[in-house]
């Protein structure tokens, strides 16, 4: 075992040996646990052609370890379907599941008129009780669908199965089918019981399958706009989607559908009329991108609107795809215009933030994307990791063929998708694709987080509470980014903590205006020491004593 790292001594973080840190993180674990964790804690090394070391990812969390992860239901209902405003999203389960997935993610929506349906302020649940668990909940589900229909007359109702529903075996799909026939609206169900798979990632896949099977492609009405794209994997957290929409419109780019920030049923139904799928969060929505490519001939590209530089790069990539000088010129104009204010604020915050350390442990894409924003501020991401991403999100899609399906992943259906006999229309000919590729344009690819991270940084998958605390003690980062479950323990250690899921009460952080918001927020946080001034009672007076009440 390596000697314990002396965290009290003055140090330059770069002089810390990452190997020693890794050894220390796993030293406390029993042998079997250490063996598993050692595969998930990786010291980054970017080789030739951007090859990186293998990361253990998308595997079960070890019982007893406090994980950041959520459940399959959260990924399906909360993440993918939740931000759509005119579906009635009905949770079939005990009330807690519906309640805790109700707007805590801060996904925003804005119906264009007051008359348009917006069910987001409501929480729909069958509120299962003990009695229903014993005698079955299908009757209650039928009644709930009827009630929701009578009151709201929605275009669609989607039903989400929770753990107890899966355990007692309610046939949610059959009830959905029956009620669809009875009421004449689109009703479908998701078997996204919380225990499916190893994290919310399973729920993303289930949601992608369901939305593709039941809604995408139902409406062939052609839309307007010259450059028509779908924005996949953007969920309008803290208004990010509004900011993205602002500059896309300014460029003359039309968003046919967003999956699923600020979206509607009709957007999904007409999504197959777009000419390009742009994928922001690869983890949660790559399945829809792939399936739309196969069925309708719409290629997808990876983009990232987190960071002003990344936003500019992504806009240029979209313009290159359409190969129209009119769009290219407009995009350049917009970027030039937007960057004036960005550069001003960036220069200002850089003076105070340059060289400070950040750690990011979030979800399945933000731990990567937000590194761009920190880099723009001159800050270094010393360690990062995803909660539930797969190896391709770390190492790039090139590793996909080598990933073996384990029993947990096998429980998630893989849809067999073929070209639509009438509506398959390749948006680019084979020659056009080749020509673009020759110029370095990449279709259907994501190079992952690690290729972009410097050598010697620590990549930690599904970080535990214990590892979080040790990393903070060792590196003393200027800021730690994670979620609500981690927030208070980190602040108690005197370290500023930014929630990158819900943004605390801030945002938007996407695009150009979002970047400015982020620079200012992080500058404020890393340059105020408020948390380090606070001491817990046991820190100021370690000799607290207590007696038993019975004494």
Q: Which is nearer to ligand CFM, 23 or 284 (CB)?
A: 284
Smallest separation (angstroms) from ligand CFM to the CB of 503: 9
Catalytic annotation, pick one of 37, 57, 69, 71: 71
Cβ neighbors of 508 (< 8 A, separation 6 or more) are: 238, 239, 240, 242, 243, 514, 517
282 catalytic per annotation: no
Q: Are 165 and 159 in contact (CB under 8 A)?
A: no
Q: What are phi and psi of 229, to 5 degrees?
A: -125, 160
Catalytic annotation, pick one of 37, 69, 92, 204: 204
In the numeric block, the tokens 């925003």 are attached to 108
Smallest separation (angstroms) from ligand CFM to the CB of 15: 31
Q: Are 405 and 461 in contact (CB under 8 A)?
A: no
Cβ neighbors of 164 (< 8 A, separation 6 or more) are: 93, 94, 128, 133
Rounded to 10 degrees, the C-alpha dihedral 103/104/107/113 comes to 30
Q: Which is nearer to ligand CFM, 29 or 87 (CB)?
A: 87
Q: Which is nearer to ligand CFM, 81 or 318 (CB)?
A: 81
Distance of CA 399 to the CA centre of its chain: 20
Catalytic annotation, pick one of 69, 105, 272, 283: 105
Q: Which is nearer to ligand CFM, 98 or 364 (CB)?
A: 364
How far is it, in rounded angstroms, from Cα 34 to Cα 37? 5
Smallest separation (angstroms) from ligand CFM to the CB of 106: 9
How far is it, in rounded angstroms, from Cα 366 to Cα 214? 29
Burial of 426 (0-12, 13-18, 19+ CB in 10 A): middle
74 catalytic per annotation: yes
Q: What value, to the nearest 5°, has the Cα angle with vertex 157 and ends 207 and 271?
A: 55
How far is it, in rounded angstroms, from Cα 369 to Cα 304? 7
97 catalytic per annotation: no
Q: Which is nearer to ligand CFM, 186 or 267 (CB)?
A: 267
Q: Which is nearer to ligand CFM, 267 or 365 (CB)?
A: 365
Give residue number: closest CB to ligand CFM.
363
Catalytic annotation, pick one of 37, 69, 74, 76: 74
How far is it, in rounded angstroms, from Cα 44 to Cα 41? 9
Smallest separation (angstroms) from ligand CFM to the CB of 203: 8
272 catalytic per annotation: no
User: Which residues does residue 43 pair with via DSSP β-bridges, in sequence order?
Assistant: 458
Q: Are 353 and 496 in contact (CB under 8 A)?
A: no
Q: Which is nearer to ligand CFM, 138 or 392 (CB)?
A: 392
Residues that bind ligand CFM (CB under 6 A): 75, 79, 105, 200, 233, 235, 237, 281, 283-284, 362-366, 501
Residues taking part in catalysis:
71, 74, 105, 204
């Amino acid at each position: 075992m390596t000697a314990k790292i002396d965290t009290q001594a003055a140090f330059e973080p770069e002089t810390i040996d990452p190997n020693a840190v890794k050894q220390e993180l796993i030293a406390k674990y029993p042998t079997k646990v250490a063996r598993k964790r050692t595969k998930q804690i990786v010291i980054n090394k970017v080789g030739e052609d951007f090859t990186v070391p293998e990361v253990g990812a998308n595997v079960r969390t070890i019982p007893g370890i406090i994980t950041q992860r959520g459940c399959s239901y959260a990924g399906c209902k909360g993440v993918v379907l939740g931000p759509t405003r005119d579906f009635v999203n009905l949770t079939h389960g005990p009330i807690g599941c519906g309640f805790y997935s109700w707007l805590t993610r801060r996904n925003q929506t804005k119906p264009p008129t007051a008359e348009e349906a917006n069910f987001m302020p409501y929480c729909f649940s069958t509120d299962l009780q003990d009695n229903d668990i014993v005698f079955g909940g299908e009757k209650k589900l039928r009644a709930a669908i009827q009630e929701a229909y009578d009151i709201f007359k929605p275009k669609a109702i989607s039903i989400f199965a929770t753990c107890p529903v899966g355990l007692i075996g309610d046939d949610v799909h059959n009830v959905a089918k029956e009620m669809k026939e009875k009421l004449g609206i689109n009703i479908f169900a998701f078997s996204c019981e919380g225990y499916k798979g190893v994290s919310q990632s399973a729920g993303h896949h289930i949601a992608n399958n369901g939305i593709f099977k039941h809604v995408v492609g139902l409406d062939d009405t052609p839309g307007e706009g010259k450059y028509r794209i779908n924005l996949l994997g953007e969920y309008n957290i803290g208004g990010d989607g509004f900011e993205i929409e602002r500059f896309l419109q300014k460029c003359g780019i039309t968003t046919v559908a967003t999956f699923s920030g600020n979206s509607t049923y009709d957007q999904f139904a007409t999504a197959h009329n777009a000419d390009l799928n742009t994928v922001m969060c690869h983890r949660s929505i790559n399945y829809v991108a792939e399936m739309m490519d196969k069925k309708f001939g719409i290629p997808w590209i990876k983009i990232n609107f987190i960071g002003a530089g990344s936003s500019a790069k992504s806009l240029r990539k979209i313009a290159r795809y359409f190969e129209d000088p009119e769009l290219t010129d407009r995009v350049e104009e917009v970027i030039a215009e937007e960057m004036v204010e960005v550069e001003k604020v960036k220069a200002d915050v850089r003076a105070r933030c340059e060289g400070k350390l950040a750690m990011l442990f979030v979800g399945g894409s933000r731990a990567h994307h937000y590194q761009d924003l920190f880099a723009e501020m001159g800050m270094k991401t010393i360690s990062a990791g995803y909660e539930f991403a797969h190896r391709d999100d770390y190492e790039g899609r090139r590793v996909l063929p080598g990933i073996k399906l384990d029993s947990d992943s096998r429980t998630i259906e893989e849809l067999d998708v073929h070209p639509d006999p009438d509506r398959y229309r390749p948006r680019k000919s084979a020659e056009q694709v080749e020509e673009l590729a020759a110029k370095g344009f990449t279709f259907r690819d994501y190079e992952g987080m690690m290729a972009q991270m410097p050598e010697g940084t620590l990549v930690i998958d599904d970080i535990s509470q214990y590892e979080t605390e040790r990393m903070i003690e060792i590196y003393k980062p200027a800021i730690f980014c994670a979620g609500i479950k981690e927030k208070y323990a980190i602040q108690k250690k005197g370290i500023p903590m930014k929630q990158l899921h819900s943004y605390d009460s801030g945002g938007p952080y996407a695009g150009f205006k979002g970047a400015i918001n982020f620079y200012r927020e992080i500058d404020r946080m890393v340059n105020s020491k408020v948390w380090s001034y606070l001491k817990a009672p046991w820190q100021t007076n370690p000799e607290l004593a207590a007696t038993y009440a019975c004494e």
